[in-house]
Structure 1
Amino acid sequence: MLKDKVVVITGASSGIGALAARFLSEQGAIPVLMARSEERLHSISTQISGPHKLIVMDVTQTQQVEQAMDQVIEQYGRIDVLLNNAGYGKFESILDMPVDEFSEMMNVNYMGTVRCTKVVLPYMLERGEGHIVNVASMAAKIGTAQSTSYTATKHAVYGFSNSLRQELRGSGITVSTVNPGPIDTPFFELADPSGKYVSNISWFIMKPELVARKMVRLIERKQEEINLPRLAAIGMRFYQLFPRLADKLTYKMMNKK
């Protein structure tokens, strides 16, 4: 089902993006790995046995995004799947985090998704088919202390995805969101340099291989949304039904940063 599908993956130089590229290749897809670090991309490339492509690209630079996507279209004639995975986080209180950091995180996590989508979408609409997968987060649905900036970016990605899905109904293009809880990846090297948060949630943190395989399955089945892990998915539903009650009941349990 994924054989010869051209899958563009942003933030593909580490974590679930890199693993997804490997697993997609194993399924016969042609992953196109995009990230800022050429060195890391080449390192990941050695782990992918099938056909693939590497492109150095920064999602905050519109011209780079346009050139990168045009390069893929020129070589393959299409982009079947766009996996918007690029992003980062920092866990600090609102008083400690500078306003510029709020802006930069939104520029990468949310506007990066917008830029890539806007460039790829016309090609997909012309063909009348395609799949846009946006990696949001459990934070898109449940806010936690010392995560105001990161949570806001993922709320934005999730809201953008839901609206885009409605806008593209009947176009032949599927819009999906992936909403994972904490994953054991290099994400926490920047988000939680002290290791305190990771230590506090060690019982809950997911293996990146699990999340990457779930993402590949979502692409294969064209699911519109997945929430991970299952326990968190139940919590998200409860929070959406009773947000203020959930805040009061879960504050101490969720305040682990």
Structure 2
Amino acid sequence: MGSIKRVEEESEKIYRVLYNELSKANNIAILSCGNSKGLAQHLFTILKIAKTNMSVFFLDADYAYNILLPYIGEEIDVAILFTDTKSSKCLFRIYQSLLLSGIKTIALVHRILSEEERNIIKRYDEYITVVEIDRDIYRISILHANLRLGLALSKGSSARIERIARELEVASIVEELSKRYYREINELERCRTILYTKSLQSVGEELSEMGFNSIELPLMKNIDTIQKPVLMIYTTVEEHIVNELLMEFMRKGISKEDILSIRINTDPFTAPIYGHILLLLYSYK
């Protein structure tokens, strides 16, 4: 699968840029535009575990650009910026705020920059390092790079981070996932609702960009509004949330025949990568 090789190449590029800055930084701001909070949350959690003495926070960029950053800019060593494909206005606003504050920034963006965006970046390239990533592998490449970064920063101090090292060989698990979830991959298109747990937020955001009705669990809306058939994608450690919902489904008359499940039995740090591989298999089937 050629896209997996591209993931590894993009991941290497992202990792090197991040490590070069974050290995010598103490105060990190992680900012997200649009549907990219899953990536921000993933990096935030890994940094907090890999390097416990590092000060890290993440915020919605549209909230932070004029409410917070102007007042704390001097305290930030590096800002990491994530985005989706539809948030160019948010990018412009946060670029301007970061530049005015003189904050060193790494912007991880889709490889669809407009000429206007490129011109802005060129004027301020001493502050902004832009890493362009192919649209179809944007999230999975960043997730993979986040894990590599965690391993490098922890230097053996985190047993949990060290345990996931063997799961970074993503090419080795593609065939297994393809066989295990063959039915779910082929029936994904007919699912009218996709429910996902919090550790798979980036997968849910990708599904939303693909046009699916994806909703994060625990379910916040009225269960009567859920359209079937339903696909539930979750990790083993979050299975109790799914079991609670299944009982509610049964009471509301949603049968087992209307529910597909993808249960990912791995660490919640690596689980999103597995989820994104399944989406790549769906896209290229």
TM-score by length of 1: 0.31
The structure where helix makes up a greater share of residues is: 2
> Which structure is larger by alpha-carbon Rg, 1 or 2?
2
